[in-house]
Every structure is written in C-alpha cells, then in structure tokens.
Structure 1
C-alpha cells in the first residue's frame, strides 16, 4: 500500500512539472488514495471515501457522493451493484464524483459497475439484460467540473482512472436541479466527465448498454486505450462524445452498435481550450443505424472547430463513414489510412459522409462496390445482416444481438487481409495524460496493422 501511494505521489510530481496544450499547467488530484481506509459494509450510501476491497460485492440504491479532495478506489475483482429500476430519478441511483475515482481491475479479476441480473428478482418484462438494454437502470457516474474564476478553470474535482472494468446499463432520468450535465428528465450517460484540468483514463475496459451517450467528456485530458464499446444509444447517442477542452488519444478501441457515431469530437461549449484529439487504430462496426434524425449517424465525426489526427481506423458496415464538417479545424486536422468496408452500395456511397468535406487519402482502402475489400475478420460474417432491406434508422429489436454485440466473435484480421501492414506509424500520440504506472496510463503507439488488433498480439486484448 505504501508503494502504491509513493507511485501516485511520484506521478503527481512529474505531472506538476510538465506543460500541456496552450501552456496550461497540467494538474492532477492531490495524492489522497486511502488504501488503508477499507470499506467493510456492503452497502454504500451518502458521502463515501476509501477502498472497496478485492473480491467483494457492494450495493447502492441511492445516490452516493465522493467529496472534493476524497478518493474512492476499487481493488481488483470488486462488483459495485446499482439497485434501481430506472423508472424515475429517485430509483436510478448515481455516483456523484467531486473527488477522484479509481478502479484497478485486472485481466484476471476485472471489476464491474453494473446492475443485478434480475432473472430471479423481476418478471421477464423487467429483466436487467439484453432484452431491456435501454431501460437505463441507474444514473451513471457524474464527475462535476470545477468553477471558472476570472475566465480560468480552478483545479478542484478529481481524476478518473478505470482499468479492466465493466460499466453497464446506465441511462436513468435526471432529476430536478441536477448538476449542469443534464436537464430534468434527460437520460444520463454511463460517465459524464467535465474536469477540464484533470485526467480521464479508460483502459482495457468494457462499456455496454447506455440509453444515450456512453461517455461524454466536456473538457479534460484523456487517454482511452484498448476498450470495447457495445450497443449504446436507443435512438441517438455516441459511444464517446467529446466537447470543448478535451485533449488526448483514443486508440485500439473496438466499437460495435452505437446508435449514432462511435467517436464524436466537437469544440462546442466554449471552454477556451480547443478540442484536439487523436483517433487511431480503432475498429468500428455496425454503427449509426439507430439514429432517428436524417443524415446523422456513423463512425468518426469531427465538427465545430475540433481538431486532431485520424489514422489506421477500420470502419465496417457503418451507416456513414468519416464525417468532417466544414466548420471543423480543417487547417490542423490530419487523416489517412482508413479501411472502409460496406455490404451495400448505399453504405459504400457514404464512406465519406456526403454532408462533410473529407476526401479520400492515398493510404485509404475503399471501393464503390458493395462487399469489396472484405477485411477478413477471423470470426464475424459481415454479410449476414441485410442492410439492403434495413438501411436505417432501425429500432434495436430490428438489429439482432449478433449484429451489435461481440458474443463469441473474433475481430482480428486473417493473414490475407489488406489491413495488415497498411497502417501509418510515423506520428506520435498526443499523450496529454503524462502520468504512468498503476494510477496513470499505458499508451499504445500507432500500429502497422489497421484496426484495434495487431497481428503481433498487441493492441486490444479482449
């Protein structure tokens, strides 16, 4: 425990000395990890702090709060269960995070923040499982922003560090007087993070089944590496939605079945720090078909003065491919080496969204013909679902589970795939998060194979 605390202190010291975008000072929360403060009760309520112990199961049925300056940590193998039905804000408990949240699951012992499998507790019509995935059983994790004084954000609030953690089934309605992330009645995200001077780290984790956006970041330094995102958004919503002040990298994520975009970057919000994010080596499949608004819904979207680098992404059977609008920061955006695949001419005709200004680049793999350039996944047939008959928008009941969930599928590339060796490697991650170690990030650099899975076994480990 003393060693872990020393690591965190060292990380803090290194970060305090480093510089970041537009000469802003990079802050991280004070070293307040209280491993010795064991949480022994299996029921959480009110204001909490301390450490949930390895292998234990904990429950909460009302909102729980971590105060500014406090830390809530999960050791490996912890299950945190939200008890609610999602019908009202009173019965959709949330985690209100003014402090720091750390979940250190491992590959062998991942953590879970989820709901009960209610087969024995509810009627089948109310079961907390795939058939009712968009109920929104709990209120998610709400990480509040610090105040802005004299036009500058004050470094209050805390960091979020999530590793090898399952996050599932959030989306319960917001109540009156809710923190500024929502208005009353809005479906809440699995995570809302708005601490512009802080760090958001999501690594090797799983996000499943949100009613709207899976994660929305409204400012902060991010490192989102090697995760799996499945089936988020009932009739709209992204897997990962970024607003003004977001800086960092999103790489080696596997994403399947978003209602709208898998990844969306926008500078909307006016934080004073421009959104600048790199998206590379992601695999994005079957996204955009549940968005009910015309002309929206796809894979990767840059708009409203957002900037970044976009390379080595595999985009298969998405309603729209790369979308870069004319009001994005076109002078500072760079993109190339995308691999596009579609089973219909309609999908192939929108590899570059028609309402955007992106153009095909020399390193892209694409074709106007349907079913051309199959990426050759080891264990997933891209031709089974009939998108000719079902071009979208679709309800989730029309997208059968094997289309929008991983199941037993294998999305690694076969030896004959054109994606092997077609990646761009001569650029660097932004590395906006500078801490490393248990409480920091492990950034995987750009890979020579397109997509989230590298032929040498690196990249996404799910």
Structure 2
C-alpha cells in the first residue's frame, strides 16, 4: 500500500472518530516502509548497494565500493566491522564511496563502523587497522553524499600501497576523505576515534559538522578536521580532545574554484597540538591560505597553540572576510599562555574574549580537572614541545569518564555571540538525513546550560 493511501485512511478514520467522540485523541501509527534492497548476507565485498538492516552485524575483509548513483543505507543499530590488521593496503580494507553512504544511527541505537571488539582498545588508536571511508567522484561524475548520524567511526588509517592523486605510496589514509564539491557531508552526534593521520579531510563539499566527539586523532600529525578549498559550511558544538595537530584547520589550498569558507563556533578543544613538532603548528583553530569564515564562542583549554591566523600575502588567511571573538582561553603553564594567539600568526584578542594569566578563567567543567596535567614540566620558552604518544599519555587524548559540561560559576556562561546565523548550506532534504543545525549559543563551548548543544 502506498504512503498516500495510509494518509488518506488515517484522515478518514480520524474524521469518523471525531464525529462520534469530539474529545477523543487519535494517534495514527506511521506506516512501516520496507527498506530498499535489504542486504541479508553478513559478509560484504565488491560493489554494494541497498540497506544494512537494523540491529544486524556485517563484515568486510576486502574493499567495498558504492558505485556512482547507488546508495548504501545503514538503519539504526548496525555494526559494520572491518576485518583488517593495518599491515598493508590489502589487509586494511576501505569503503570507496563514488555514490552515497547514509548511516542513520540513533541515540538509543547508534551505528558502528569499526573493527572487531578485541581490537577496539586505546592502545590500537594509531595502528590504522582499516582504510577508512574514501569519498571521491567516479571519472566525469560528481559523486554523492556522505551522511553519518549517531555513528561510531573508529581505528582507521591503513597505508596506501600505490600512490594516487590523494596519497603517496605508503601514506596512511584519512578516516574520512570527502572530495565531492557540490555534494553534502553531514556529520552529527557521532564519535570519531583513533585515526592514524587526519581524522577527516575535505577537498570541497557542503558541510555540516555538528555535536560530535573527536578523540585520539593523529599519531604524529594530523587534524581532527582539515578543510581545504571548495569546503563551505558550519563546524559547531564539537568536542576535540588530544588531537595531534589542530582540532580544526581551514585552508584554501587546493584546486577548487570555490573559496574555503567555514564557521567554527561553540566548540570545546582540550589538550590539542602536542604531537606536532613543527614550530607554530598544533592546537585549536587554524585559518590560512586565503580561507575565510567566523570563529566564535569556543573554549581553548590547555592547547599547545589556541588560535592561529596566518598572515602574509600568498599564505595568509582572507583577513578581510575572517572574524572571531567571544572565545575563552585557558592554560596551566606559561608555554600555553604565550601561545593563546600563535606567535607566528596575526590573531589578537578582542574585547569579547576571555583570557588571562596562568590558571586563570577555568571553564569549571562538571567533571574534569583542567590542572591534572602540568604542562610546565614540558619545558620550552615560547611553546611546549611535542609529547610522544605512549601509555601514560592516554588520558590526554580521550574523554573517558570526563564530563565537559560547564557548571554554574563558569566564566563561559552567557558570553556567547548569538548575532550571526549558521550558513546551513547543505541541500539534503530527505527526512531523517537532512542536517539538524544548532544555532550559536549564549554560553561558550560545546555544551549549553539549558541542555542543548553536544549530547554526548
């Protein structure tokens, strides 16, 4: 029976009941819609399309591909397990997306695109056990959309055997690579954990990155989210902890004709930048190479470098079209305080920013001690040197049982800029798959006192 038939029947039933009992409240159940091309085999290989069914577990030991024009849809509660060991490209299978991939987990039943349970340990964070999700258009095509909601994406970044336009031979792959300039990349309420290099890199696309948690991203370098030319959209209400280089980087480098333009607001960044050895690199937010956008209402907590805006002709950000403010900066060591604004950059504090000396302006998190790690012991004069990843450093890199919500008494309360609008640039309109964009909040950081914002 078609959907409109259900609706007509429901209207007719409602009319009869209303005529007989005017006080009655009628609840009409939504029709059960049969999934398109349900996939029943638990082993995937080659070209695939259709629906991975709710609550089911699926496996892939070799590359799987979604062809141009095709869609792979994950219902809620799906586990998609990569069977790899990261030792070579053949043993770190990837998901190649020439069409569209849509994963609609829920808060009650999130999805997992990960490795076997025995390998899901912090010690394996940087092993690159599988190849990640690689979204590129097929030849002479535009590619499709990538939509991930309430999805755990974990432990990817296996090496490339033969070089291509994206990677050199031997390079680790990004957990997500998205290069479909005119298509949508929507990432909401998800967990991105344990990438070998960049967790996410976009070479174009209409993006909406909302209310996610990034942990243990990048072994010796790499961003949680690295956005290149052609990328337009919003990055908001995310938590990034322990990223190797920057949490969020916007650079107009690349060959796209559309200028990189990203709003980065109401994010919480903690302990970022300590595995990047290059001077002036690594920390919170970085705009460079003629990128533009807005950066407001963010919390920078013990980041090696907090705000970095590159100046200078050719390499500098588009300063005329870049604005920032209403950010809170906290550092428990002099090496961090001197790098609230990168010493090799041009960003400065504004009247709306909250900053001070060592250990001033604690955000007053609900359950996280911002002084549990003493960065003064790392030495250095202008910056803290890189910290090698090792077992004792794990608490720096993941949320664990910590709670980054702010409490009463926090200087972040009520200091947000709410006078600008998100770009809300994505064009996906399908029910359930469309972006759910949260506007700038009155409180700083990823969590609002009223319970809105990040839901992790």
Q: Secondary structure at the match of 1:396?
A: coil
Superposition deviation, residue 439 in structure 1? 1.6
Equivalent of 1:333 in 305, 318, 322: 322
Query: CA offsets, 1:374-406, max 9 Å, x none?
Result: 110010001011211133301111652222111
Q: Of 233, 236, 243, which residue of structure 2 is paired with 1:258?
A: 243
Structure-2 separation of matches of 1:402 and 1:235: 17
SS for the counterpart of 2:195 is: coil
Where do 1:48-447 residues align within 5 Å? 48-118=48-118, 127-145=119-137, 156-178=142-164, 180-326=165-311, 327-367=316-356, 369-390=357-378, 391-397=384-390, 400-436=393-429, 437-447=431-441
Alpha-carbon distance in structure 1 between the residues aligned to 2:64 and 2:137: 17
Q: In the aligned structure 2, how far is the partner of 1:215 from the partner of 1:279?
A: 15
> Residues 3 and 298 of structure 1: is their aligned pair in 2 closer, same or farther, counting only changes over 3 Å?
farther
Provide the C-alpha distance between the structure 2 equivalents of 1:172 and 1:266, rounded to a whole number of angstroms. 25
Q: Quote how far apart the aligned CAs of 1:129 are.
A: 1.5
Pairwise CA distance, 1:145: 3.4
**Structure 1 consecutive aligned stretches of length 4 or more whose deviation exceeds 4 Å:** 1-4
> What residue ranges of structure 2 are gaps of 5+ in the alignment?
5-32, 379-383
Structure 1 pair 277–2 and aligned structure 2 pair: CA distance change class (3 A) = farther
Q: CA RMSD in A?
A: 1.7
- 1:113, CA displacement in angstroms? 0.3
SS in structure 2 of the partner of residue 80 of structure 1? strand
Q: List alignment gaps of at least 5 residues for structure 1.
A: 5-32, 119-126, 148-153
Q: Distance in 2 between matches of 1:388 and 1:132?
A: 29
**How far apart, in 2, do the equivalents of 1:432 and 1:34 lie?**
31
Matched residues in 1 for 2:413 and 2:141: separation? 43
- Report deviation, 1:157: 1.1
In structure 2, how many angstroms separate the alpha carbons of the residues matched to 1:104 and 1:430? 23
Task: State TM-score, norm by structure 1.
Answer: 0.88
Structure 1 match to 2:381: none
Deviation at 1:198, TM superposition (A): 0.4
Give CA-to-partner distance per residue, 1:3-37, whole Å, 9 cap, x none: 69xxxxxxxxxxxxxxxxxxxxxxxxxxxx99320
Mapped partners of 1:34, 1:68: distance in 2: 23
CA distance, structure 2, for counterparts of residue 138 and residue 458 of structure 1? 34
**Paired residue total:** 418
1:287 Cα deviation (Å)?
0.1
Aligned to 1:30: none
TM-score scaled by structure 2? 0.89
Q: CA deviation at 1:184?
A: 1.3
SS, match of residue 306 in structure 2: coil
1:74-114 alpha-carbon deviations (Å, 9 max, x no partner): 00000000001001011000001100000000000000000
Deviation at residue 292 of structure 1 after TM alignment: 2.3
